[in-house]
Structure 1
């Protein structure tokens, strides 16, 4: 798989990564054996960027990634995150960007990942109680200590990105970006990344699975699948968003690809590194094939016609989580 520079600080990754979160939490039943086989297959296909976080589980997803990379740590670029405070016994506390927590969390993540360094360390969400300069200062100390190679932030505003980058160069900003979620094109974030030479990592590039075309009813979700609480999958929102998916499906069929592949190819065309999440090899292989899909000017125009900014109905998260975005 083609590799590309992520940002301008020297990190090279595959043009598509793998989001590992769903292998451990949030999306229904998990299967460790299949998850490990999926990571194996990703590496075989040349996918090098593996994305996890201390809060996924908590901890168990980092441990899974560490297990998958046992004896071959250098085969992958490992990205993990801190910022949601988790106690050692796995209890969620809230946002915490204090330097002392950042340092403690990184050491704990290194143990769980069974490694001596993290390739890309993100601040998962911005803590409004702590100046970003203090938090990123601690991240910079971790780089100087050799425990972290590159740093980034997630779901930050353009102003926060600039303030963070002034303290220590950011390699990447991770945010939701897809045909369903194009807010960064209009809130200054995308322009800021381009100006500063910071890479864009797009999570949920398939609209949390909606753009795959495989979801036709809210009843398709397991009882413990958190998408049952996602506003975009509720009631009338679901029906309206499904109509958009049908149009994307139509375009994909005309091009001879799947809806997932068309949606991922669009994200790739925008210059982002997509990290679609999956816990099964068959979906991984379908997603990886999107890196070979070239979009013409006519394709882009057709996609724009059916999925312009603002086409999706419903907020990105339930109300209690919306306040953590664009910090």
Structure 2
């Protein structure tokens, strides 16, 4: 497994990371034994970047990481944790808390659930509109000084917020959606991150399954799967987006790889400062994703991919209207 550094100051990680959210939340039921086996398979394949959140399954995901790392050296994994998302007992989202006291409280619970003495990369999941980013990052800086955290990360923030945060403490990486269907970061956010020496960990590289090559318009969704109300999966939007996938399938077939593999490889090819996160929930899907690291894309192939799925071609926003309003990166 090749490695890449998260920004100018962050840790060295595998060229592909594993996003764990779907093992606990938002995509319907998951098999816990298979989830642990998938994490083990990733680690054994050299994938050391594990991305979680304290609100994924209201703590379940962090406990899953603890179980998966049991008996393994702590430094076999770089654990990236998002915090700040507030939930209610029914699983609903009720806001964001980036107050310094809350940051330290969240970290205390995360350390206990993970069974570790430090978090490798710690990041607010969203910008708290009521708390200056300087205060939130300042609290993480104090956690670093105390030895509880190694690096500061951010998630879904815009260029101005990146600059303000970086003035307080070096930022290892910005976690943000980036795929063939979601290219909004290319205008301002990605150039700002590069100017500041901040890496990108790209989630949603398969657009929540749309670019997997296995989605169909008649697929039934289980309860709790947020794609049931995601704009890109609705009606005419879905039909339009699936036509883009079919165009991409032709390029993948010429390369003798899968649609998912070419979509992941395209993200990785956008710069060595970008690490794709794949949300594989099973060993089979992980194995397919790992196949994306086994080939490179030529200039001609990159042009063919972008001709199949041009920038801005996706129909529908990446989140519902309420969730989009909460994204500093979309302002």
Q: TM-score range by the shorter chain?
A: over 0.9
Change (3 A) 1:109 1:218: farther
Contact 1:261 1:293 in 2 (8 A): no
| Aligned-residue CA RMSD (Å) | 1.5
TM-score, normalized by length of structure 2? 0.95
Contact 2:28 2:225 in 1 (8 A): yes
- Residues paired across the two proteins, number: 326
1:226 Cα deviation from its structure 2 partner = 1.1
1:309 Cα deviation from its structure 2 partner = 1.5
Aligned to 1:306: 308
Aligned to 2:135: 134
3-state SS of paired residue (1:167): coil
Contact 1:59 1:90 in 2 (8 A): no
3-state SS of paired residue (2:214): coil
3-state SS of paired residue (1:209): helix
1:206 Cα deviation from its structure 2 partner = 0.5
Contact 2:55 2:87 in 1 (8 A): yes
1:10 Cα deviation from its structure 2 partner = 4.1
3-state SS of paired residue (1:221): coil
The residue correspondences of 1:212-291 to structure 2 (distance < 5 A) are 212-271=212-271, 272-291=274-293
The residue correspondences of 1:158-197 to structure 2 (distance < 5 A) are 158-186=159-187, 188-197=188-197
Structure 1 residue 320 corresponds to structure 2 residue 322: yes
1:51 Cα deviation from its structure 2 partner = 0.4
Aligned to 1:41: 41
Change (3 A) 1:232 1:10: closer
Aligned to 2:84: 83
CA–CA separation in structure 2 for the residues paired with 1:257 and 1:287: 11
TM-score, normalized by length of structure 1? 0.97
CA–CA separation in structure 2 for the residues paired with 1:273 and 1:70: 26
1:2-61 per-position Cα deviation (integer Å, ceiling 9, x unaligned): 111111114100000101111111111211100000000001110000000011001100
CA–CA separation in structure 1 for the residues paired with 2:139 and 2:234: 40
Moved over 6 A (4+): 87-91
Change (3 A) 1:149 1:29: same
Q: Structure 1: any 5+ residue segments left out of the alignment? A: none
